[in-house]
């Protein structure tokens, strides 16, 4: 892969704050340079429909969003994707595995913001190169037969990837944002809204209600010009439980209460559990325990639990950015290693197969 699209210098200084701006290629230009074939476009459409079928109860499989917390190294990410694609073919009767291709990283204060922002990991912030590299990488994953997912953090970046994605997350910090709700209302794929960092779900419920309605909002067109964007509303949103400051929120009592709240508000009661973050106390090795607890609730008949998320890389743990990075280890949140992930999902598939069919 290469990063041949470069930023065009605008050579403009804003006299008020002396901010230098560099012009990026438009999303249309990048899509034309790195297009999807018609066959791959149809594959993405089929994967989106498969996700919708699970959300709507037409497909009884579990929806699993699996992969690195964030991608920093395309080589290790592709190796992971190859392994996940092989595993997917073996468990596809019980699970739809969707590869996490997260190229933006939300930060509470400062830090590395993800492959799309800083692909060289050195603070140079080559965003033109990052967008190109991210799109190339996502296309390679799709060629492996995988549906892919990402968290859309910067709405202006969404247009560079929106034709590639089968599932999208709106994170805990941005679920409350009107801009992200408007963006979600115009996306052509299912969207999961995470509960707020305090653990409450009211903000995410409001986001789902907002995103299901049409909006007119400020945006940019495919050529990068300011535009009025009119959306039709997204019927394929759902709630993602990630815990909060008070601890986990995936226990049966919490799930039942939340499902009742959704029903009362006439919102489809479809819930995904993020096995990481506050639900695991940010300990990646506790993710299997969360996963198995949620799986047991599902086996006991709770069909509102439509899926789970796992942060997983080639090798477990995490590492700080440095000049000597260990291959296949996350540089953001700690991850479960692939070997443990594979064992967990194989075991889950066996348990699901053994469940009596109704």
**25: part of which helix (H) or strand (E)?**
none
Cα distances (Å, whole numbers) of residue 43 to 38, 144, 169, 223 = 9, 11, 20, 26
Q: Rounded distance, CA 37 to CA 50, Å? A: 20
User: Which residue, among 185, 355, 194, 221, has the nearest Cα to 279 in the 3D structure?
Assistant: 194
**Tell me: the pLDDT tens digits for 42-72?**
999 999 999 999 999 999 999 999 999 999 9
Is 115 within a domain? yes
Q: Is the torsion defined by CA of 295, 313, 113, 108 positive or negative?
A: positive
One DSSP character per residue, 72-92 reads: --HHHHHHHHHHHHHHHHHHT
73 has a pLDDT exceeding 70: yes
Is 1 within a domain? no
In this prediction, residue 109 carries a pLDDT of 83
In this prediction, residue 151 carries a pLDDT of 98
Confidence of residue 18 (pLDDT cuts 50, 70, 90): low
**Tell me: the pLDDT tens digits for 112-158?**
999 999 999 999 999 999 999 999 999 999 999 999 999 999 999 99
3 has a pLDDT exceeding 60: no
Average pLDDT over residues 323-329: 97
Confidence of residue 97 (pLDDT cuts 50, 70, 90): very high
Q: Contact, 316 vs 334, CB < 8 A?
A: yes
CB within 8 Å of 287: residues ≥ 6 apart: 275, 276, 280, 310, 311, 336
Average pLDDT over residues 287-311: 97
CATH number for the domain harbouring residue 253: 3.20.20.70
**What is the count of structural domains for the chain?**
1
Q: Contact, 152 vs 158, CB < 8 A?
A: yes
The length of the chain in residues reads: 358
In this prediction, residue 114 carries a pLDDT of 97
Of all residues in the chain, the percent with pLDDT exceeding 70 is: 94
Is 30 within a domain? yes
Of all residues in the chain, the percent with pLDDT exceeding 90 is: 91
* Higher per-residue pLDDT: 185 or 356: 185
**What are the start-end ranges of the E strands in 140-270?**
148-151, 167-170, 191-194, 216-220, 226-230, 237-241
Is 7 within a domain? no
5 has a pLDDT exceeding 50: no
Is 342 within a domain? yes
* Burial class of 1 by CB neighbour count within 10 A (0 to 12, 13 to 18, 19+): middle
CB within 8 Å of 38: residues ≥ 6 apart: none
4 has a pLDDT exceeding 60: no
Stated pTM of the model = 0.94
Rounded mean pLDDT of the chain?
94
Average pLDDT over residues 269-286: 97
In this prediction, residue 20 carries a pLDDT of 79
Q: Rounded distance, CA 121 to CA 135, Å? A: 17
User: Which residue, among 229, 238, 150, has the nearest Cα to 183 in the 3D structure?
Assistant: 229
Is 2 within a domain? no
160 has a pLDDT exceeding 70: yes
CB within 8 Å of 77: residues ≥ 6 apart: 67, 68, 71, 101, 137, 141
Confidence of residue 9 (pLDDT cuts 50, 70, 90): low
Residue 338 dihedral angles phi and psi, to the nearest 5°: -65, -35
* Burial class of 308 by CB neighbour count within 10 A (0 to 12, 13 to 18, 19+): buried
Q: Which domain holds residue 319?
A: 25-353
Is 93 within a domain? yes
Q: Rounded distance, CA 247 to CA 256, Å? A: 17
Q: Contact, 199 vs 172, CB < 8 A?
A: no
Q: Rounded distance, CA 344 to CA 93, Å? A: 16
Confidence of residue 358 (pLDDT cuts 50, 70, 90): low
In this prediction, residue 16 carries a pLDDT of 56
Confidence of residue 11 (pLDDT cuts 50, 70, 90): very low
Query: 338-353 vs 287-299: helix axis angle to the nearest 10?
Result: 10
Confidence of residue 1 (pLDDT cuts 50, 70, 90): low
């Amino acid at each position: 892969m290469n990063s041949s699209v470069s930023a065009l210098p605008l050579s403009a200084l804003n006299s008020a704050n002396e901010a230098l701006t560099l012009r990026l290629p438009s999303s249309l230009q990048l899509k034309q340079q790195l297009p999807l074939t018609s066959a791959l476009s149809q594959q993405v459409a089929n994967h989106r429909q498969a996700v919708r079928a699970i959300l709507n109860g037409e497909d009884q499989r579990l929806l699993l969003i699996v992969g690195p917390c964030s991608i920093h190294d395309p080589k290790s990410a592709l190796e992971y994707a190859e392994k996940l694609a092989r595993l997917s073919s073996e468990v596809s009767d019980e699970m739809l595995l969707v590869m996490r291709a997260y190229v933006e990283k939300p930060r509470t204060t400062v830090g590395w913001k993800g492959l799309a922002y800083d692909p060289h990991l050195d603070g140079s912030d080559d965003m033109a190169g990052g967008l190109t590299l991210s799109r190339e990488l996502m296309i390679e994953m799709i060629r492996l037969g995988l549906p892919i997912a990402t968290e859309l953090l910067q709405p202006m970046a969404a247009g560079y990837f929106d034709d590639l994605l089968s599932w999208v997350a709106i994170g805990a910090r941005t679920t409350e944002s009107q801009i992200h709700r408007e963006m979600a209302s115009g996306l052509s794929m299912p969207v999961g809204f995470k509960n707020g960092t305090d653990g409450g779900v009211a903000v995410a419920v409001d986001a789902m209600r907002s995103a299901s309605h049409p909006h007119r909002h400020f945006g940019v067109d495919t050529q990068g010009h300011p535009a009025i964007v009119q959306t039709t509303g997204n019927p394929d949103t759902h709630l993602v439980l990630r815990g909060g400051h008070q601890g986990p929120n995936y226990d049966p009592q919490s799930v039942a209460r939340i499902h009742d709240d959704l029903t009362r508000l006439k919102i489809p009661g479809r819930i995904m559990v993020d096995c990481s973050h506050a639900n695991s106390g940010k300990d990646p090795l506790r993710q299997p325990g969360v996963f198995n607890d949620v799986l047991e609730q599902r086996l006991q008949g709770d069909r509102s639990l439509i899926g789970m998320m796992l942060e997983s890389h080639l090798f477990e743990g995490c590492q700080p950015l440095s000049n000597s990075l260990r291959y296949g280890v996350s540089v953001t949140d700690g991850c479960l290693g692939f070997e443990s992930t594979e064992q967990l999902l194989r075991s889950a598939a066996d348990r699901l197969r053994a469940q009596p069919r109704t």
